[in-house]
Chains A and B, each alone.
Chain A
Amino acid sequence: MTTDVAEPVDAVAVAPAADPGFLQRYGTSIEYILIPSAALIAALGVFGIFVFLFGKNPLDLYFYMYQGAFGTWFSWQNSLTRAAPLILTALCTALPAQLGMVIIGGEGALLIGALSATGVALLLQSAPPLVVQLAMACGGMIGGGLWIMLSGGLRQFRGVNETISSLLLVYIALAILNHLVEGPMRDPASLNKPSTREIGAANMIGSIPGTDVHWGLVFGIIAAIASYILIYHTVFGFAARVAGGNIRAAKIVGLGVSKLILTICFLAGASAGLAGMVEVAAVQGRTNANLAAGYGFTGILVAFLSRQNPLAIIPVAILLGGISASGGLLQRRLGLPDASVQVLQGIIFVFVLASDALYGRIGFLKGKS
């Protein structure tokens, strides 16, 4: 955030006469694209060396990664499908980050959202599908929203560290899910895989026409754009960023910090809860332990790689979706273990975080050279 504010000032200060327009105006934006891209390329380079040490050809590696992630229309759909839940769960970390809070419990909100959405659908079985779907979306968002709001409230009113509480709430959410799915909400017919009853084929939301990608992608993109507008182009978002910069200053100028924290946490949880609803309504058709697939945790990675910028979340989620889509091909063609994809994700993570130090320090973007 600080670089965001400092950069234009810097640029103005040193702006030379030679090319005053272009770099001054777009230098920061170019930086935002150039630095992460360079970090990504460097990470891929290091991963190539890592793979080379295992006796595989790095060129094969890059080719298969490209083929598996973006090389064909099928691969594109594969990547986008995997990206869809990540956009929503990443927002669960990125929104509270504007307030300086580190929430890592998106997985819990996703599970609670899925449970609430399923519960609503099972209660409304005779209603028309559109009503059921809308009610499911509301149910999922409210369930997930309240779940993360709990972390926000604990932090604001009881001084509990929100990172720890949101993480621990994931395990509570999982326990609640397992309890309900194996007990009160269990479909007696689900013998060896305890599950709730199905929400019914008519209530499923299906795929985006002409593709295999479910609507979660569209919801995610809308949510990310809405979050961007909220944070950067509204008074509310400005207040949130002020509070995130200095909470005492925010209180002194009379901002309602409690309200800000609770609202932002609710929105964050609602977005992860919506991801849970989509998993039920577009993929699984019911709730069971399959939902705890780690989307909430990968979302944290996406949020940090996007430097908590809601708009940047979209391409980063697609990139990580692509990496996980290509992971299968790496296993099958190169015989690499599944863990190699996690190694790559880890390397990218380290490089992108380390590249933070470069912002505002690249000479030619200031128009100097």
Chain B
Amino acid sequence: MDFGRISRRHLLQGGAALTLGSALGVRSAAAADMTVGFIYVGSRDDYGYNQAHAQGAAALKKMSGLKVVEEEKVPETDAVEKTMESMINLDGATLLFPTSFGYYSPHVLKTAAKYPKVTFEHCGGLWTDKDPKNAGSYFGYIDEAQFISGIVAGHSTKTGKLGFVAAKPIPQVLRNINAFTLGAKLANPKATTQVIFTGDWSMPVKEAEATNSLIDQGVDVLTCHVDGPKTMVENAAKRGAMVCGYHVNQSPLAPKAYLTGAEWNWEALYPKFVKMIQSGEKIPNFYRGGLKEEIVKCSPYGEAVSAEARKHADDIKAQLVAGTYTIFKGPIMDNKGKTVIAAGTDRGQKDPELEKMDYLVEGVIGATS
């Protein structure tokens, strides 16, 4: 085949170029004790999911003896396998953070099996015993922070109508909507959450439409679970509604309208991971935690949050951190009147049943399908 011949010729040229190149760029990679690679599915300044991870990467850049390489907008196809291999082969990376959910299976699993000496830490996947030992998955119970947001929202709303712009009716999203609503009802038993699903993770036009339509229906506090909350936050603030953020702190986008928000705390977790590796300790393959483990956090309260709301939220937060509070505590009904968690049943943060959530609790206006 023709390209085979070309490839050999270029391979020789490439070899020559490489020896030249090792004098230039490749050397800087070798100078660091450890190279860490970050891969994002979107742009790293999206005020959302990817920025949260990029902030974690920025925390690693401050550590000495560490080189951080980053690549953004890598699709969830074999492109990410090649990006991981490129980071390993050309940059010498030994720890990789492929941060998008869709990277895990089959791409991370395949690449991890191929490079057993490299550590792969994936966000959101469900690592099982059958998966390679050098791969692992971590995630945070961010519904705890959404619960706190819900309490603040419940205190702040005047109409009693809250809005939720959501991507897809999958368990992680439903859990956030439900926790937010349960929190709001704790503060204001009559509060309802109207949810709109946009159908995908990054749909700015639909997110703006959903935000406007929620506000038109009388909603005065909004939150969301999409990759980039920027659209919702800016539009809601422009219309005079209040917002609770998600993924990262969006208060710079809407300083007056911002109440609080559910944030990832990757800038605490990633340095912890690196220190574990440097001290020869093994990172558990399945790593989870919430407010207590400092994997998630709440944004500082905005000026519009009343003293009463702050007190209530701080009180519950302290109990969550102490591990004495359960959010999903029976009896809980779904919004069709069916009991989903029976009276007397406590579903704690690590309960696997919650990972399969397929209902919306009483007080949520909307449907999962």
Contact = CB atoms under 8 A, between A and B. Distances in A.
B311 interface: no
Given A331-B70, A332-B71, A71 B14 contact: yes
B45 to A, nearest CB: 9
A294 B79 CA distance: 12
B306 interface: no
Contacts of A289: 102, 200
B21 interface: yes
B124 interface: yes
Contact of A294 (B75, B101, B170, B199): B75
Given A67-B21, A284-B106, A325-B82, A75 B101 contact: no
B162 to A, nearest CB: 24
A288 to B, nearest CB: 7
Given A73-B11, A331-B70, A279 B355 contact: no
Interface stretch (B85-93, B215-223, B252-260, B314-322): B85-93
A192 interface: yes
Contact of B171 (A78, A192, A285, A325): A192
Interface string A305-333: 00000000010001000001100110111
A351 interface: no
Point out which of A66, A72, A182, A314 has the most chain B C-beta atoms below 10 A from its C-beta.
A72
B304 interface: no
Contacts of A94: none
Contacts of A337: 43, 72
B69 A279 contact: no
B356 A191 contact: yes
B2 to A, nearest CB: 8
Interface in A266-306: 279, 283-285, 288-291, 293-294
B18 A290 contact: no
A238 interface: no
Contacts of A248: none
A80 B3 CA distance: 10
Nearest to B77: A293
A359 interface: no
Interface in A158-214: 178, 182-183, 191-194, 214
Interface residues of B, number: 45
A64 interface: yes
B288 interface: no
Contact of B369 (A73, A78, A183, A333): A183
B24 interface: yes
Given A67-B18, A78-B86, A290 B76 contact: yes
B90 A329 contact: yes
Contact of A70 (B14, B83, B199, B200): B14
Nearest to A174: B200
A338 interface: yes
Interface string B1-19: 1010001001100110110
Interface in B331-369: 355-356, 369
A332 B170 contact: no
B293 interface: no
Contacts of A314: 3
Nearest to A327: B71
A70 B82 contact: no
A191 B171 contact: yes
Interface string B167-197: 0101110000000000000000000000000
Contact of B21 (A71, A82, A293, A332): A71
Given A332-B71, A332-B91, A191 B21 contact: no
Given A72-B89, A74-B85, A67 B10 contact: no
Contacts of A221: 1, 3
A73 B24 CA distance: 20
Contact of A285 (B71, B91, B106, B369): B106
B73 A192 contact: no
Contact of B25 (A64, A75, A183): A64
A113 to B, nearest CB: 15
A68 B91 CA distance: 11
B78 interface: yes
B79 A67 contact: no
A183 B102 CA distance: 19
Interface string B134-150: 00000000000000000
A338 B73 contact: yes
Interface in B1-60: 1, 3, 7, 10-11, 14-15, 17-18, 21, 24-25, 43
Contacts of B102: 193, 288-290
Nearest to A279: B77
Contacts of B86: 68, 74-75, 78, 325, 328-329
B70 A70 contact: no
A293 B79 CA distance: 10
A60 interface: yes
B77 A284 contact: yes
A285 B124 CA distance: 20
A63 interface: yes
A142 B118 CA distance: 42
Contacts of B79: 82, 293, 324
Given A67-B21, A182-B168, A289-B200, A318 B106 contact: no
A24 interface: no
Contacts of B24: 60, 63
A227 interface: no
Nearest to B169: A182
B14 A72 contact: yes
A75 B82 CA distance: 9
A63 B7 CA distance: 18
Interface in A316-361: 318, 324-325, 328-329, 331-333, 337-338
A321 to B, nearest CB: 10
A11 to B, nearest CB: 27
B344 to A, nearest CB: 26
A82 B82 contact: yes
A133 interface: no
A29 B14 CA distance: 28
Interface string B103-137: 00010000000000000000010000000000000
Given A72-B11, A75-B86, A329-B90, 6 more contacts: A67-B90, A68-B86, A72-B18, A318-B3, A333-B25, A338-B72
21 contacts: A63-B24, A68-B86, A70-B10, A71-B21, A74-B90, A76-B11, A76-B14, A78-B85, A80-B3, A82-B82, A178-B199, A193-B102, A221-B3, A283-B77, A290-B77, A293-B75, A328-B87, A331-B72, A332-B70, A332-B91, A338-B73
